Structure 1
Amino acid sequence: MVIREVTGRRPQEVLAWSRDLLEPAMRAAADSLSGTMRLIAGYHFGWWDEQGEPTDADRGKSLRPTLALLAAEAVGGDATAALPAAVAVELVHEFSLLHDDVIDGDATRRHRPTAWSVFGRNPAILAGDALLTLSFEVLATSAHPEAKEGMRILSSAVQALVDGQSLDVDFEDRVNVDLTDCLGMAHGKTAALIGCASALGALFGGGRPVQVDHLRAYGHEMGLAFQLADDLLGIWGDPAVTGKPVHSDLRNRKKSLPVVLALTSATAAGKELFELYQGDQPLSPAEAVRAAELVDQAGGRTWSQQQADDRLDRALRRLRAAHPDARAAAELSALARLATRRDH
């Protein structure tokens, strides 16, 4: 007997399938918002411009809701049963992006002006608050038997996300940040919600507790790999791909994982980078170029890629431990590899 490997759909096909399922449910949820909040949210989602006219702007990859939908299938459930979970995690993610852009002062997101730069800081913050509240309402009104447990899981992830964001902000004013601190920030700011997405999907798909736990861990480890890869993109990514200016993280003196590794490396390059990172004004373009060279010379680039690869391996081991449906497992594996590539 010939045993054929199950490969599933390509990642881009899976993401397109997820967006087709997700968008009507997201629009239905957003329609419950007030006029101004709905306008800002829809602009941020890429549905329309600042006047509310439809547009074909970049709407993001929808990674987290896709994980929720696939996790439901991985435990033998129907993806549509996990739609409330998918909508909830995407609303939380978009809430965090609205606030992040204000906190970081970023002027562009997904290749166009950020919501705060169009509508103002305070309206953008309030729109983020509205999305966060809406995420819990979506779960509460889903009539799913696991809605209460889903809200508990989501609440825990939001608390971790906020703690991680708080650490990220705190790092801006701290002279010394070590790798333990920086990894702790990544566990909260990024990995917690990605782990939550796959856990909620498995829960709403009818998974057993052990499957929910393994899929949460799969998502969490994938989230750490994703953050490491994203930090690399924040320094060396192509603006045409990232939607942000080249060296944007360095120009803002951001203490990302590759930078912190370099700063704590006790190398000549690390010491020069430390001196360059002093001050409170953005680095000039030339200084940012030099900072990127120093991070690389101090080992930050190589270390981050190695760590991303290791976390991806851990994620895939936890995925296999959940004994998932073969096609969903193949698609979750491919999606994890796509999300943690440096050139996407």
Structure 2
Amino acid sequence: MSQITDPVPGAVFPRLGWVEEMFMPALQAAVAELPRTEQRVAGYHRGWCEADGTPLVSAPSRGKTVRPALTLLSAIAVGGDPSSALPGAVAVELVHDFTLLHDDVIDGDALRRHRPASWTVFGTPSAVLTGDALLAAAMRVVAETPSPVAAAAVRELVKALLDLVQGQSLDVAYEGASEVSVAQYLAMAEGKTGSLMGCACALGGVLAGADGERVRGLREFGRRLGVAFQCADDLLGIWGRSTRSGKPVGADLMARKKSLPVVAALAGTDSAAERLRALYASAHPLDEQDVARARELVEKAGGRQAAEEEARRQMSAALRALSCAQPTADAYRQLQEIAWAMIRRDS
């Protein structure tokens, strides 16, 4: 797939070793407090162990520390100590894993992070219950924060969770809808993906004691970044490679999911859009040949270009919002680099 242009020449993904060192022991401690069965499923899901509980030693993935990094850097951005935001970073990652476990069940996805998804290994009930346990653990971590702003942090997390559920609900509903507009899709993506990234950034500000205006800027930065990330993820779902994504590429097309490139393409009026509408409306299951044809039609109808342009628009809005938070110069640079690395994703 064509690369989404990075306006910061030479920018690379920031080194997040310090995030890993600060964050992972706290995350592991939170997971260790789960019931034994859910501990094992969560550990497998994270890549910490095999299905039988045998520990694994693997290189850390930068994707696994992005949201915690956003939280800790957001605290630094408003002049706070990153350690003050550690409970928020742990909570957001626990919620993220809760959504992934449930998403795989809802979508029937058999792969996650290049391994069999947890529900295929432990069964659907265990995967769902582990997700529930992670959600409860996230709420406990924030509620037990020894800080006068703990209540505000809990409210921030609860609001994000409600937005996330609404986004997920719309995502499921849109699968069976005959028509979905680009505006409807973006509103769904803001809830499904943007709400948690917005919460990650806002919690950093809240737990560091920032005022409301700066927290709003951080929250909006994360929400716009989340939508941009979803745009890039949708592109990878059609034109990426399973070896990078860890999930079958083309699965969304085979399931007739209305990702952003598809929604934009279906809104077209040319012959490619017409043929794509007919393919999506057909009664027969789509095979690999149909998926290849759908991929070609989405691109011809302008869906790929539209999604790339939307990712850039969302990123511009994200960086404007970040400026409103009046971040320190170094934190702004690192947050900007993380943001662009998240959507500068090739095949």
TM-score category of the 2 structures, normalised to the smaller one: over 0.9
TM-aligned CA distance change 1:18 to 1:182, over 3 Å = same
Provide Cα deviations, 1:37-94, integer angstroms capped at 9, x if missing partner: 1111111111101011111357543211110000000001111110000000111111
Whether contact under 8 Å (1:65, 1:87) holds in the other structure is yes
1:13 corresponding residue in structure 2: 15
Whether contact under 8 Å (1:161, 1:190) holds in the other structure is yes
Whether contact under 8 Å (1:11, 1:335) holds in the other structure is yes
TM-aligned CA distance change 1:203 to 1:10, over 3 Å = farther
Q: For 1:179-198, what aligned pairs fall within 5 Å after superposition?
A: 179-198=182-201
**TM-score between the two structures when normalised by the length of structure 2:** 0.93
Alignment of 1:309 onto 2:335: no
Q: For 1:83-94, what aligned pairs fall within 5 Å after superposition?
A: 83-94=86-97
Alignment of 1:221 onto 2:224: yes
2-structure distance, mates of 1:287, 1:12: 40
TM-aligned CA distance change 1:72 to 1:262, over 3 Å = same
2:4 corresponding residue in structure 1: none
1-structure distance, mates of 2:282, 2:109: 19
Alignment of 1:170 onto 2:173: yes
2:246 corresponding residue in structure 1: 243
Deviates more, 1:203-212 or 1:127-136: 203-212
Residue 244 of structure 1 and its aligned partner are, at CA, apart by: 1.2
SS in 2 for 1:277: helix
Flag as ranges the 4+ runs of structure 1 deviating above 6 A: none
Of 286, 296, 303, 1:283 maps to: 286
2-structure distance, mates of 1:103, 1:234: 17
Provide Cα deviations, 1:231-290, integer angstroms capped at 9, x if missing partner: 101111121111112212112211111101111112211111111112566521111111
Q: For 1:1-344, what aligned pairs fall within 5 Å after superposition?
A: 11-14=13-16, 16-56=17-57, 60-279=63-282, 282-343=285-346
Whether contact under 8 Å (2:12, 2:341) holds in the other structure is no
Letter in 2 for 1:192: S
Deviates more, 1:175-184 or 1:57-66: 57-66
Q: Percent same amino acid at aligned positions?
A: 48
1-structure distance, mates of 2:133, 2:94: 9
Residue 205 of structure 1 and its aligned partner are, at CA, apart by: 1.6
TM-aligned CA distance change 1:279 to 1:101, over 3 Å = farther
Whether contact under 8 Å (1:192, 1:223) holds in the other structure is yes
Letter in 2 for 1:27: Q
SS in 1 for 2:344: coil
Whether contact under 8 Å (2:190, 2:227) holds in the other structure is yes
2-structure distance, mates of 1:80, 1:251: 44
1-structure distance, mates of 2:297, 2:191: 28
1-structure distance, mates of 2:115, 2:130: 18
Residue 149 of structure 1 and its aligned partner are, at CA, apart by: 0.6
TM-aligned CA distance change 1:175 to 1:131, over 3 Å = same
Letter in 2 for 1:39: R
Aligned-pair Cα RMSD in Å: 1.6
Letter in 1 for 2:55: P
Residue 125 of structure 1 and its aligned partner are, at CA, apart by: 0.6
SS in 2 for 1:85: helix
Whether contact under 8 Å (1:191, 1:224) holds in the other structure is yes
Deviates more, 1:272-281 or 1:120-129: 272-281
Whether contact under 8 Å (1:140, 1:147) holds in the other structure is yes
Whether contact under 8 Å (1:232, 1:304) holds in the other structure is yes
2-structure distance, mates of 1:132, 1:267: 46
Whether contact under 8 Å (1:253, 1:282) holds in the other structure is no
Whether contact under 8 Å (1:10, 1:331) holds in the other structure is no
Residue 11 of structure 1 and its aligned partner are, at CA, apart by: 2.5
TM-aligned CA distance change 1:235 to 1:305, over 3 Å = same
Whether contact under 8 Å (1:76, 1:206) holds in the other structure is no
1:3 corresponding residue in structure 2: none
Letter in 2 for 1:284: D
**TM-score between the two structures when normalised by the length of structure 1:** 0.94
Residue 100 of structure 1 and its aligned partner are, at CA, apart by: 0.3
SS in 1 for 2:269: coil
Whether contact under 8 Å (2:98, 2:132) holds in the other structure is yes
SS in 2 for 1:13: coil
Aligned residues: 336
Residue 28 of structure 1 and its aligned partner are, at CA, apart by: 0.4
2-structure distance, mates of 1:140, 1:282: 47
2-structure distance, mates of 1:170, 1:27: 35
Residue 203 of structure 1 and its aligned partner are, at CA, apart by: 1.0
> Unaligned 5+ residue runs, structure 1?
1-6
